[in-house]
Amino acid sequence: MSNQTIKNNWTTKELEDMYNMPFNDLLWKAHEIHRENHDPNKIQISTLMSIKTGGCPEDCKYCSQSIRYDTDINLEKTLPLSEIIKQAKDAKNTGATRFCMGAAWRNLTNSNLAKVKEMVKGVKGLGLETCVTLGMLTKNQADELKSVGLDYYNHNLDTSEEYYKKVVTTRTYQDRLDTIQHVRDAGIKVCCGGIIGLGEDGIDRIKLIQVLANLDEQPESVPINKLVKVEGTPYSGNLNVDEFDFIRVIALARIAMPKSYVRLSAGRDTMNDQMQALCFFAGANSIFYGEELLTTKNSTIKHDRKLLNNLKIKTDGHIEQDQCALETTSDNLTKLSDIPINTSNL
């Protein structure tokens, strides 16, 4: 790992010039920085679970869970602790090292805080890292979550401050920044990123990376989501994201935030293997692993195992490389799914 200091006074022009470099030059630069700071052949894997689905009062125009849009999701109350522990165990058995619990809340209430604290304790007890994404938090609530050992809090800025107003009207960019500050002040690691495909311009993507990189402390984790076009939301008919532009954003995030984990997040199931490989080359080193995200589908586990094995990318979990290797020779995905996971060290 390099000891280079982190730069957090990026100008828009510096990042814009980089974003617009010839593609090969940008990827070369990003990959060099990636190698200086990370193992280029290793990724971190997280599994997501929706602990409370739908009925959210916010109006985020991309979201299946907003009460304002007629989407085809199953509304669910907050799930019981036993269900969460069961799924966390499954996630660990499948190879995840971090378990992220998401709730369709505008903000955390104190009665929900008590429930979430039990969830964090239970999941940590399994030896998994914990992450939650629960909407806005007060400073005191962030301290309470820290007191039970929460590792990460996910709270995305989604896009530039200017474009954000078009995407969400029920809260401000500053509200998001305030929660991120409370998380940071409490000593919880910050997971903060955005979405590509909201109808934003290149400059909005550049400014998102600028805001993230210029935070006093850069987020430890930076999820870059590709919009999942959910039927019934205002963004269901958005234009497809240009794949090279998406890869450019990954590269820019890597260059501007050399030490952060850049997560290739939602929308991976619409990316082919070659595109994902280029994203890993450009500096992505984390993924959501598991059949589902929150309400939409993810790339399948058997597909991911085959991809990671083909690329000879190791994970920080218990995905057994030798088991996968058996499969590449036969290239038989059905057989792959039958291979038992080694649970000896669970």
Residue list 236-295, contact with ligand SAM (CB under 6 A): 266, 294
Q: At 113, list the tokens.
A: 């805080």
Please identify which of the residues 98, 176, 184, 191 carries the catalytic annotation. 191
Question: Which residues on adjacent β-strands are paired with residue 46?
Answer: 98, 288
Angle at 259 between CA 304 and CA 144, to 5 degrees: 90
Contact 135, 103 (CB under 8 A): yes
Stretch near ligand SF4 under the rule CB under 6 A, chosen from 54-62, 142-150, 187-195, 196-204? 54-62
Assess 105 for contact with ligand SAM (CB under 6 A): yes
Given a contact cutoff of 8 angstroms between Cβ atoms, the answer to whether 299 and 267 are in contact is no
Q: How many CB atoms lie within 10 A of CB 266?
A: 23
Under DSSP, the state recorded for 340 is: P
Q: In the bound complex, what is the minimum distance in angstroms from residue 192's beta carbon to ligand SF4?
A: 13
> CA nearest 74: which of 102, 50, 58?
50
| Per CB under 6 A, 159 contacts ligand SF4 | no
Q: Residue 101: left (phi > 0), alpha (psi -120 to 50), or beta?
A: beta
User: Which among 63, 192, 279, 324 is annotated as catalytic?
Assistant: 63
Out of 104, 209, 228, 250, the only residue in the binding site for ligand SF4 (CB under 6 A) is 104
Distance in Å, CB of 18 to ligand SAM, minimum = 24
Nearer to ligand SF4, 186 or 228 (CB): 228
Catalytic residue at 324?
no
Residues forming contacts to ligand DTB in the complex (CB under 6 A) are: 48, 64, 100, 102, 133, 154, 156, 193, 223, 225, 228, 265-266, 293-296
Site string for ligand SF4, 66-95 (x = CB under 6 A): x-----------------------------
DSSP string, 226-286: EPP--TTSTTTTPPPPPHHHHHHHHHHHHHHSTTSEEEE-TTGGGS-HHHHHHHHHHTEEE
66 binds, among ligand DTB, ligand SF4, ligand SAM, none (CB under 5 to 8 A by kind): ligand SF4
Q: Residue 236: what are its φ and ψ, rounded to 5°?
A: -65, -25
Can residue 79 be called a binding residue for ligand SAM (CB under 6 A)?
no
279 belongs to the catalytic site: no
Q: What positions carry a catalytic annotation?
A: 56, 60, 63, 100, 131, 191, 263
Chain residues that interact with ligand SF4, rule: CB under 6 A: 56, 58, 60, 63, 65-66, 104, 106, 135
